Amino acid sequence: MKKIILCFALIMVGTIMAQEVPLVTNVFARNNINLNGKWNYVVDPLENGYYDYRLMPFQTNGFFENKKFNTAELQEYDLDTSPLMDIPSDWNSKDNRLFFYEGTVWFKKDFVYKKSASTKGILYFGAVNYDAKVYVNGKLVGNHVGGYTPFNFDVTNVLVDGNNFVVVKVDNKRHKDNVPTVNMDWWNYGGITREVVLSQVPITYIEDYLVQLDKTKEGVISGWVKLNSVVAKQTITLSIPELKIKKQVVTDSNGMAYFELKANPVLWTPESPKLYDISISKFDDSITDAIGFRTIKTVGKEIFLNGKKVFLRGISIHEEAPFRQGRAWSKEDAITLLTWAKELGCNYVRLAHYPHNETMVREAEKMGLMVWSEVPVYWTISWTNTDTYNNAERQLHDMIYRDKNRCAVVIWSIANETPHGDDRDIFLSKLAKYARTQDSTRLISMAMEVTKSNNNINTLKDNMSDFVDVISFNSYLGWYRGTNESCKLMQWVIPYNKPVIISEFGGEALQGLHGDKTKRWTEEYQEELYIQNTQMFDRIDGLAGISPWILVDFKSPRRQLPRIQDFFNRKGLISSSGIKKKAFYVMKDWYKKKEMEYK
């Protein structure tokens, strides 16, 4: 018994010695040890590395310790001699035994660290899907839930000088009360799906900052800098050389420093995505970033970017790697997908249905694409479960926290295709209000849905219309309801004095399958669907944007038609092997026309 208490105490000390801390903003600009690359992995469907045979969690001798036993002792695992996987990645596309696998996989990475009295070690994960237990040198440093947002732990006190190792227990099992819940139309890719770094920062470091055009004061750049601890009288220097700005501010007793700078920067636009190099520094810490300045607002049924009416010529995109499938995460993946969006004539992308990796948002910003960013509050969420709400709110917080300096992000979306109901309205209205407390400068929306018409009248009615700035909805005329022909007769009633975005429409086609335009799954059917739908959209009053579903075919366990879907959702305008379908050119022409209208 004494041994168990001692071990438990040691684990507790280990836990207290390390803890989750607020996100280190713009982490990739810091002084990091990069932990991407080969990690050992052990597939553990029975969670044998975490529970003993009585389902009690191990205090020691779990896989997290990767203990070396002598040859007289029984050892039935060894992470060091287990297979290797390239991280970041999802295990489904990396090991064909794990194509459908939903459960626990353990990952281990060795690294060398030089301890210093003046440095903290912050272990940062871009994302892990879905439940991550993280151990450093065999000690639990924390647990994170949520598959698409970053998190980090201060592991300074559990790091040793020299050889260290990190172990992560990743569990991607779906649960009813998770966010997303158990059903969704995308692949449940599990793993350490985004980049991992050990950031080496000063004991008192620049944790977070906001540098944006002031929403209310003309010609003012305002914001703040936050230290990781409540240290006053620290001098912070903010400089934007191209604007001849070099401003010193001093932190208050909360470790915060505020500033307002008179400036008239060249405003960021999709046509001219101007970014300014900024640096923020204190005597022992310095960070650079590239920041754009713009305004976004709605007036009645119109959206204004920098005071000019704008039509969002968009496309929806899943975070699916082009050509190879699996989770996209790299700069190359982002540039491939976003270049296709630009070829389509887009000035806007809907990053569905969860926050994409930071690189994707930054590359969109550089390429002149406005962004709709969304939390995976998708379909039949557990509306009355408090833990579910708190999970959704945490994911929304972390999405806004990470990208609040990205001028390309113009819309935060709190949900997709959720069923009407009082519980859902309570949940989502609370989430919408919370979003505004985190960011009062961007537009709030959600993808509603129109699933039926009455005498060819399609009416959008949703209680959540009071809580959003932009009315968005998905409609699948010609695919899930009606026919391509029926588009010609359809009228639309959207009784809200707010801009309207069609957040999804589309239909499936197997690239290379040709036939009559009345024959489903042919490129000609999809092409006709786009022709008829876009002609119908011209009749919608207050239409301010569209993001067709979807740029590229993507994997989904719901799509099983043999030799046509084969676990792909084929609504892409581009096939899974990167070939453009005929409908791509219909949308491209329609956007060309739209662009001329808004010149």
Contacts of 471 by beta carbon, 8 Å cutoff, 6+ apart: 445, 448, 460, 462, 465, 494, 496, 498, 499, 500, 501
The residue assigned the tokens 């109901």 is 421
Q: Which residues bind ligand GCU (CB under 6 A)?
A: 185, 353, 416-417, 474, 504, 549, 569, 571
- By beta carbon distance, the residue nearest ligand GCU is 185
Give the shortest CB-449-to-ligand GCU separation in angstroms.
Answer: 7
User: Considering beta carbons, is residue 113 or 505 the nearer one to ligand GCU?
Assistant: 505
Q: What share of the chain is helix, strand, coil (3-state, %, to 5)?
A: 20, 30, 45
* Integer Rg of the chain from CA: 25
To ligand GCU, the closest distance from the beta carbon of 252 in angstroms equals 45
**Exposed/middle/buried for residue 132 (C-beta within 10 Å: 0-12, 13-18, 19+):** buried
CA distance 531 to 43: 48
| Beta carbon nearer to ligand GCU, 92 or 416 | 416
As beta bridge partners, residue 143 has 133
Complex with ligand GCU: residue 29 or 182, whichever CB lies closer:
182
Q: How far is the CB of 462 from ligand GCU (least distance, A)?
A: 15
Nearest distance in Å: CB 102, ligand GCU? 19
Residue closer to ligand GCU by CB (options 311, 554) is 554
Nearest to 414 by CA among 405, 437, 310: 437
Q: Give the H or E element holding residue 587.
A: helix 582-597
**Least spacing, CB of residue 526 vs ligand GCU, in Å:** 12
How far apart, in whole angstroms, are the C-alpha atoms of residue 402 and residue 354? 13
SS3 505: coil
The smaller minimum CB distance to ligand GCU, of residues 187 and 591, is found at: 187
Q: Which is nearer to ligand GCU, 378 or 427 (CB)?
A: 378
| Nearest-approach distance from CB 508 to ligand GCU, in angstroms | 8
Nearer to ligand GCU (CB atom), residue 525 or residue 549 = 549
Task: Please check whether residue 83 is in contact with residue 41, taking contact to mean a CB–CB distance below 8 angstroms.
Answer: yes
Smallest distance, ligand GCU to C-beta of residue 519, A? 19
Cβ distance to ligand GCU smaller for residue 125 or 427:
427
The Cα 26–Cα 12 span in angstroms is: 31
Question: What's the closest the beta carbon of residue 372 comes to ligand GCU, in angstroms?
Answer: 13
Amino acid type, 48: N
CB neighbour burial string for 303-326, b if at least 16 within 10 angstroms, e if fewer: bebeeeebbbbbbbbbbbbbeebb
Smallest distance, ligand GCU to C-beta of residue 245, A: 43
Longest dimension (CA), the chain: 80
Owner of token pair 């537009």: 443
Contacts 24+ apart (CB under 8 A), 158-162: 158/14, 158/17, 158/18, 159/113, 159/115, 159/121, 160/113, 160/115, 161/113, 161/114, 161/115, 162/112, 162/113
Name which of 148 and 209 has its Cβ closer to ligand GCU.
148
Report, in Å, the least distance between residue 504 CB and ligand GCU.
Answer: 5
DSSP symbol at 98: G
Q: How far is the CB of 554 from ligand GCU (least distance, A)?
A: 8
The DSSP element (H or E) to which 596 belongs, if any, is: helix 582-597
Buried b (16+ CB within 10 A) or exposed e, 373-397: bbbbbbbebbbebeebbebbbbbbb
Residue 226 vs 571, nearer CB to ligand GCU: 571
For ligand GCU, the closer CB: 126 or 506 = 506
Task: Using the minimum distance from each CB to ligand GCU, give the nearer residue, 238 or 552.
Answer: 552
Min separation Cβ 565 and ligand GCU, Å:
11
| C-alpha to C-alpha distance for 592 and 75, rounded to whole angstroms | 65
The Cα 192–Cα 326 span in angstroms is 12
For strands 139-145 and 37-43, give the pairing: unpaired
